[in-house]
Structure 1
Amino acid sequence: MTKPTPIYQTTADAHGGRAGHVDSQDGQLKVRLAVPTELGGNGGEGSTPEQLFAAALASCFESAMGAAAHAENYPEFGVMGVRAEVGLIANGEPHDLTVALDITLPELTREQAQHLVDKGKAICAYSRALGDKIEYRLHES
């Protein structure tokens, strides 16, 4: 079977693990990493892999819902919010992840909002890759 050709692909290099830095090969991403105190670090300035993952998931899912709304000719609405929550569970070694998305679409009916969430699940590559590991929480406002 032939491997599909990506329509977009990027590469990032990690140096120094959780206390190091991550850079994309195109130079657009340069992130210093820090180990949080909860994981035995000093909690210094820097991001964590979990923060980067949460940011990627939230932005991808919000884009997927926006694409679904556009494709289905939803009326223009201005407020859409997606917050990703990513946590580590100490389950021995290795740790497990908890992943949740808090979704707010206050200008839509509950049915319209749920429809967009369902479409977002089908479109967002991260959602499809994670399957049922994501908890989706739809909020009224």
Structure 2
Amino acid sequence: MASLEKVLYTAHAHTTGGRDGASRTDDGRLDVNLSSPGTSGQGTNPEQLFAAGYSACFIGAMKAVAGKQKLALPDGLSIDAEVDLGPIPNAYGIAARLTVNLPGMDKAVAEKLVHDADQVCPYSNATRGNIDKTLTVVV
């Protein structure tokens, strides 16, 4: 396990009621109702939040890598993230699929960028070897 060399930011959230509750950050920027996947509840669920967080973080990693490699990212850069929830032996687990859209970019350059971003993205590093993950590049 790699330890942080320096803490750059700490997120604080207060959650009540679990999957059928609510969660709010200490700064009030996030204030959401939660509901279990597949129910008629009006809130989001942890898997949706993970998909949004992972895809946003991965774009940030791509921007950092592109800057170091002096690459221009296309205006239409986006990620479609899917997070699955299901049983594993004696517990539950998740799997993730990120479809990275880099319209107009050379395929080989785009694939290298995504591979390099996967090496620096905090979500990728936190989940590497722990969940099934698929990265697909679309140009």
TM bracket (short chain): 0.7 to 0.9
Separation of aligned partners in 2, 1:72 and 1:138: 18
1:32: which partner in 2? 33
Instruction: Please give the residue correspondences for 1:32-111 in structure 2 after superposition, counting only pairs within 5 Å.
Output: 32-37=33-38, 42-75=39-72, 77-91=74-88, 93-111=90-108
**Structure 1 length-normalised TM:** 0.87
* Percentage identity across paired residues of the two chains: 30
| Number of residue pairs the alignment of both structures matches | 135
Query: 1:92 Cα shift?
Result: 5.6
Instruction: Please give the residue correspondences for 1:105-120 in structure 2 after superposition, counting only pairs within 5 Å.
Output: 105-120=102-117
Q: Give per-residue Cα distances to partners, 1:68-126, cap 9 Å, x unaligned.
A: 11221113521211111101113364212111111111221111101110121122100
Query: 1:48 Cα shift?
Result: 0.2
Separation of aligned partners in 2, 1:135 and 1:45: 29
**Structure 2 length-normalised TM:** 0.88
Structure 1: tracts of 5 or more residues without a match: none
Q: Could you say if the C-alpha distance between residues 97 and 76 of structure 1 is closer, same or farther in structure 2, counting changes exceeding 3 Å?
A: closer
Q: Could you say if the C-alpha distance between residues 76 and 52 of structure 1 is closer, same or farther in structure 2, counting changes exceeding 3 Å?
A: closer
SS in 1 for 2:88: coil
Separation of aligned partners in 1, 2:121 and 2:72: 21
